[in-house]
């Protein structure tokens, strides 16, 4: 049997979450650069247009997923920082 300390698991989780949040934030940055606007500005623009632009719509979906992923990961990082996880 292998024994692993909770802090070791926390370090692994933190490294994993930070790598994933970095990747999500990098994609967000690329979208901001591509469109020259923030997520909030872009999503309002998409919501207020009746034009069908499938490329922009595809980017909207992917950008939205990246924002959600970054938010979820930030919450998970906060939980790990406070030791709010269990090792089974």
pTM greater than 0.85:
yes
Query: 58: pLDDT confidence band, cut at 50, 70 and 90?
Result: very high
Question: Rounded to whole angstroms, how far apart are CA atoms 57 and 11?
Answer: 38
Around 70, how many Cα atoms within 13 Å sit in the side-chain half-sphere? 15
Q: Does the pLDDT at position 19 exceed 90?
A: yes
Domain boundaries, the chain: 28-88
Share of the chain above pLDDT 90, in %: 84
Q: Are 67 and 30 in contact (CB under 8 A)?
A: no
pLDDT of amino acid 31: 98
């Amino acid at each position: 049997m292998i024994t692993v300390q909770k802090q070791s698991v926390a370090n692994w989780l933190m490294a994993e979450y930070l790598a994933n949040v970095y990747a999500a934030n990098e994609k967000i940055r690329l979208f901001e650069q591509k469109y020259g606007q923030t997520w909030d500005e872009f999503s309002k623009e998409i919501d207020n247009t009746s034009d069908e632009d499938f490329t922009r719509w595809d980017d909207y979906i992917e950008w939205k997923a990246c924002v959600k992923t970054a938010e979820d990961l930030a919450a998970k990082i906060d939980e790990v920082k406070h030791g709010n996880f269990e090792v089974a």
